[in-house]
Amino acid sequence: MKTLLLIPFFISLSLGATEPLEFPHKFNLPQKKSFFKHTGPVHHIEGIDSNRNFTDLDGDGVFDLLDFDIDGDGVSNFMDLNPLDKNIQGIDSDEDGIPDFLDFKVGSILKENMDIESALFQERLFKGIGLLIFNGDFPFTNREFKRLASLYLSKELRLFKKAENLDVIFKQPIHPMGYRGKYRSSHRAITLYSNEDHKNNPLHQELTLVHENFHALIQSESKFFQEFLELTTWKVLGDNYSYQGEVFPISLVKTDPEAISKALNSDEFPSDYAKLGPEEMFAECATASLMNHREEIKIVKYPYLDKYLYTPLHSFILASFQTVLK
């Protein structure tokens, strides 16, 4: 067994468990107005910082930083007008299941800058699979929202079952470390970070969303993931990863990802990012298998797609889709 020996330099690649979790701003319906605008909230959680790493507001045994429902009122944090007060959940005036402060259309009245088609997409998606895409402090455009919602309603992600372990999707400004997206299992949420690549190449944003959905799928389809691990030979050996005889510190994923991508070579990797551990490989391979009918994805994200499509791993994932997905 070979061991990869490298002297790393510090580059953070993924969000740590204690990194501040900033909730998107919530939008309320202004009073005494003839139209609805996106405005600042009356009750708003500013974020969960390191001071809440070991607090447990509702006493349920789950630290607030990792608690899907901090105040224990039965409403998830992202759909709660005030996630820190169990007496304030928010009003749903038109009883469509979407709280007014997140709803694109309340009754017959549209929020500012939203069109009727976007509002209907939001409602269909929520009623159909229990998934809410909403506008936070960095809103989606109508075109962007409809394109992403269509992935679930009529395109590739329509194959997914009801969105288990995934409840909300929202957008945030550019991340200082350049992240494109992040699935937070504790909060069953996907954050899509704004970046020029997503703006200039919308397909890349779609691929990011599909990739993060497969991270969520790991939580609900653990057998699928375990079979994937066995086929690829990924193992966790204490503080190390092992892949086909190559051993390297897990910490290297954060500190020197480029060193890993150079050291690992296999037709099973559709991209270099797939080399950064078993979960990233799972999400990358599954995304490549699901989206490979779009010829442009090779140029956009998967330079090694041609070789990957002829591997037993690709065939295994396609066959699994028949039972794991709808």
66 and 184, same domain (yes or no)? yes
Q: Is 326 exposed, middle or buried (0-12, 13-18, 19+ CB in 10 A)?
A: exposed
304 is a domain residue: yes
Spatial separation of the C-alpha atoms in residues 282 and 302, rounded to whole Å = 14
Among 220, 248, 269, which residue terminates a domain? 220
pTM, rounded to two decimals: 0.84
209 and 232, same domain (yes or no)? no
Spatial separation of the C-alpha atoms in residues 307 and 291, rounded to whole Å = 15
36 is a domain residue: no
296 and 197, same domain (yes or no)? no
Task: Quickly count: other Cβ atoms within 10 Å of residue 104's Cβ.
Answer: 25
Asked if residue 19 has pLDDT above 60, the reply is: no
70 and 216, same domain (yes or no)? yes
215 and 226, same domain (yes or no)? no
294 and 191, same domain (yes or no)? no
Find the domain containing 278 and state its range: 222-324
pLDDT score for 2: 54
Phi-psi region of 188 (alpha: psi -120 to 50; beta: other; left: phi over 0): left
131 and 174, same domain (yes or no)? yes
156 is a domain residue: yes
Handedness of CA 170, 76, 125, 287 (dihedral sign): positive
Which runs of E-coded beta strand occur in the chain? 2-3, 105-106, 109-110, 132-133, 168-172, 181-184, 189-193, 235-237, 240-243, 246-249
Asked if residue 185 has pLDDT above 90, the reply is: no
pLDDT digits over 78-121, tens only? Answer: 888 888 889 988 899 999 999 998 999 999 999 888 999 999 99
196 and 235, same domain (yes or no)? no
Q: What Å distances lie between residue 258 and 131, 159, 160, 193, 200, CA to CA?
A: 35, 34, 32, 22, 25
262 is a domain residue: yes
27 is a domain residue: no
pLDDT score for 24: 54
Among 197, 220, 243, which residue terminates a domain? 220
203 and 235, same domain (yes or no)? no
Among 202, 220, 238, which residue terminates a domain? 220
205 is a domain residue: yes
Q: Three-class SS of residue 248?
A: strand
67 and 155, same domain (yes or no)? yes
Which is more confident, 25 or 45?
A: 25
Asked if residue 48 has pLDDT above 70, the reply is: no
Q: Closest by alpha carbon to 179, among 14, 309, 4, 291?
A: 14
pLDDT digits over 160-178, tens only? Answer: 877 778 999 988 888 888 8
Asked if residue 32 has pLDDT above 50, the reply is: no
57 and 133, same domain (yes or no)? yes
Spatial separation of the C-alpha atoms in residues 49 and 199, rounded to whole Å = 30
Asked if residue 145 has pLDDT above 50, the reply is: yes
Mean pLDDT of 296-324: 94
29 is a domain residue: no
Mean pLDDT score of the chain, rounded to an integer? 83
191 and 74, same domain (yes or no)? yes
Mean pLDDT of 294-313: 95
Number of domains composing the chain: 2
